Amino acid sequence: MYFESLYEVFFMGGHGTYVWSAYLFTSSVILIMVWLPMARLRRSIKRLASKFKAG
Amino acid sequence: MWKFFHKLGSPPWFYSIAGAILRWLVPITLFLLIVGYAWGLLFTAPDFRQGNSYRIMYVHVPAAVVALAGYYVMALAGAICIIWNMKMAEIAMRATAPVGALLTLIALVTGGIWGKPTWGAWWVWDARTTSMLILLFLYIGVIVLYEAYEDKSGGSRAAGILALVGTVNIPIIYKSVDWWYSLHQPASITFTGGSAIESSMLYPLLLMITVFYSLFTCCVLANMRVSLIKRESRSSWVRTLVEED
Amino acid sequence: MRELGMLEYLQRIVRRQFILAFRVPSEFAIPISFFIMVLALFPLGFGPVVKNSGVIWIVALLASLLSSDRIFKQDYDDGTLDQLLMSPQSLFGSSLAYIFVHWSQTGLPLALISPLVAIMFDLPGSAILPLVVSLLIGTVVLSLIGAIGAALTVGLRKGGALVSLIILPLYVPVLIFGKASVEAAIQGSFFSPPLALLTALACGAVAFAPFAIGAGLRISMEI
């Protein structure tokens, strides 16, 4: 571990805001990218299931 | 060999194999992503010139690399879909475009955030930034074109042609923008490029590039499964699959 | 009925397109008027002294873009394009003929009028020759790229705005090299290197773009 305290981890010598916001943005886009197709797949399967039951 | 390609073209086979791959690839990738985050954020020494802000490199560079490579993957799928009219290539091309566009967006946004402490501005019209912005619009053009077609297969082939034209153009665009930039000699901006990267910084970077490639694969496969099931919703394999579920 | 040779066939396409174009002579005035009108907006926006030759190139690019979505539209609507695709002659040649006509309606007049614009923008006399030559060559590439976009979208109802989004990113190298050759002349250095690169782009585009245009037209006609 490079940093000595938790405060240093967040502060990062004044660059903390930049670094953490960049990582936060990347993580949220990645989560959306991974989660969205899975949710869409589940939704389509559900819709198809109800359609097959009805028809 | 040929048998493998024929199997690749079969929707039910592809759907189940992609599902099996995703089942272990997604958790592994997310785990390695966290490892890479921790490595890059906590366990490497700061750059002697840029301080801690260089840590953004571990998300910025992989996103940019994979975004650019993704365009070529998309164009390759487009070429296959034009030449052999293969359904699976159509689906692959459509699945790749939004993922590539989002990765380009990540590269642009993190690049801007990195630019503020390093260059003193959120956005600098330098060669790479400008090329990446153009790449984003190339991706958007492909997406918009295939969405505009009502006929799926025609739209995919049209978008495939556009992607191929873009592929020919990317090196030209990149070179021309590079050359344009060298004409406008920058005064106050200094780049970290040129100096060899140290191995303690290189290994986490390589890990993150691998993670992003694998993320790209996961998202493309997952998108392909969605469009497969929508497209084949009338076929019997989807019916059995849904009823088993 | 005898079979037409390649050149004769192309000649006929070009003649037909020109006849159609001259039926509405005001069509020729649209790109030029657009060119000068938009250029007049720059001093209005930036103040009376615009010391930048780049605006001329940007507006030339927009003027070419403006008319590019109509390259095939009329012939698509009246069925001529169907005939063209069914003819035994190569689509490569006929698309080049279409582009030649489009270029002589947009690129050529723009290049011819550009010395006037150069004077209006107070460019030095040495910059006029590179401006005209770079516009002459560069607009060929613009027309070819525009035709790719037009071919891909001609079958769509809302093609117009789509074309600009698709092809504008591909215009970037033309803008850079075109502007650079004018800029080099203004600064008194050699303008031939960027001009040579622009010419190389034009050669490459003439060689390869018709394939993309032909493939695009085939897709558009299937729907």
Query: Average of pLDDT values for B86-97?
Result: 91
Does residue B210 carry a pLDDT above 90?
yes
Cβ within 8 Å, pair A22-B56: yes
**Nearest CB to C222; choose among B148, B154, B164:** B154
The residue type at C151? A
Whether the CB of B44 is below 8 Å from some CB of chain A: the reply is: yes
Residue B20, domain member (yes or no) = no
Domain that holds residue B125: 58-184+198-235
- Classify residue C84: in a domain, yes or no: yes
Residue B125 domain-assigned? yes
Higher-confidence residue: B80 or B190? B80
Mean pLDDT along residues C12-20? 87
**Count of structural domains within chain B:** 1
pLDDT value for B191: 47
Is residue C44 pLDDT above 80, yes or no?
Answer: yes
- The pLDDT of residue B190 is 45
Q: Which of C93, C95, C186, C99 is nearest to C134 (CA)?
A: C186
Residue B83 resides in a domain? yes
pLDDT digits (tens, 9 = 90+) for B149-178: 888 888 899 999 999 999 988 888 888 887
Full residue range of the structural domain in which residue C191 is found: 6-222
Mean pLDDT over B119-123 rounds to 84
How many whole angstroms from its chain centre is CA C129?
A: 19
The Cα–Cα gap between C173 and B175 comes to 9
Residue B177 domain flag: yes
Q: Say if the Cβ atoms of A19 and B245 lie within 8 Å.
A: no
Instruction: Give me the half-sphere count of Cα atoms (radius 13 Å) on the Cβ side of residue B241.
Output: 24
Q: Supply the pLDDT for residue A53.
A: 81
Would you put residue C52 in left (φ > 0), alpha (ψ -120 to 50) or beta? beta
d(CA B75, CA B168): 10
The span from the CA of C48 to the CA of C52, in Å, is 12
| Contact residues on chain B for A5, CB-CB shorter than 8 A | none
Domain count, chain C: 1
Q: Does B65 touch chain A (CB under 8 A)?
A: no
What is the pLDDT at residue C17? 86
> Which of B58-62, B228-232, C142-146 bottoms out in mean pLDDT, i.e. has the lowest?
B228-232
Residues B46, A2: C-beta atoms closer than 8 Å:
yes
B209 is a domain residue: yes
CB contact under 8 A, A33 and B52: no
| pLDDT value at B102 more than 80 | yes
Residue B228 belongs to some domain of the structure: yes
**Chains contacting chain C through 3 or more C-beta pairs under 8 A:** B
User: For position C132, what pLDDT does the model report?
Assistant: 94
Q: What is the spatial distance between Cα B196 and Cα B214, in angstroms, rounded to a whole number? A: 26
Q: What is the mean pLDDT of residues B176-185?
A: 72
3-state DSSP call for residue B51?
Answer: strand
The answer as to whether C65 is a domain residue is: yes
Q: Which residues contact C35 (CB under 8 A, 6 or more apart)?
A: C59, C60, C63, C110, C113, C117
Determine, yes or no, domain membership for C1: no
pLDDT in tens, chain A (55 residues): 677 777 777 777 778 888 899 999 999 999 999 999 999 999 998 888 888 888 6
Nearest to B149 among C156, C165, C212 (CB): C156
B28 assigned to some structural domain: no
In the DSSP assignment, the letter for residue A14 is: G
Residue C222 has pLDDT above 70, yes or no: yes
- The CA distance from A1 to B42, in Å, is 6
pLDDT-derived band at B72, boundaries 50, 70, 90 = very high
pLDDT band at B223 (very low <50, low <70, confident <90, very high): very high
Give the model's confidence band at B189: pLDDT under 50 very low, under 70 low, under 90 confident, else very high: very low
- Does C37 fall in a domain? yes
Q: Is residue B147 part of a domain?
A: yes
Decide: C127 and C118 in contact? Cβ < 8 Å. yes
C219 contacts B161? CB cut-off 8 A: yes
pLDDT of C146 higher than 60: yes
| CB-CB neighbors (< 8 A) of A9 in chain B | 41-42
For residue C193, give the nearest of B201, B179, B124, A22 by alpha carbon: B179
Q: What percentage of chain B exceeds 70 in pLDDT?
A: 92
A48 or B218, greater pLDDT: B218
Residue B196, pLDDT score: 57
pLDDT higher for A51 or C1? A51
Mutation target among C171, C219, C220, C221 for the B interface, most CBs of B within 10 A: C219
User: In the structure encoding, which two tokens stand for residue B171, read together?
Assistant: 């090196």
Q: What pLDDT score was predicted for residue B194?
A: 47
In B150-198, which residue ranges form alpha helices assigned H by DSSP? 152-183
Could you tell me the pTM of the whole model?
0.90
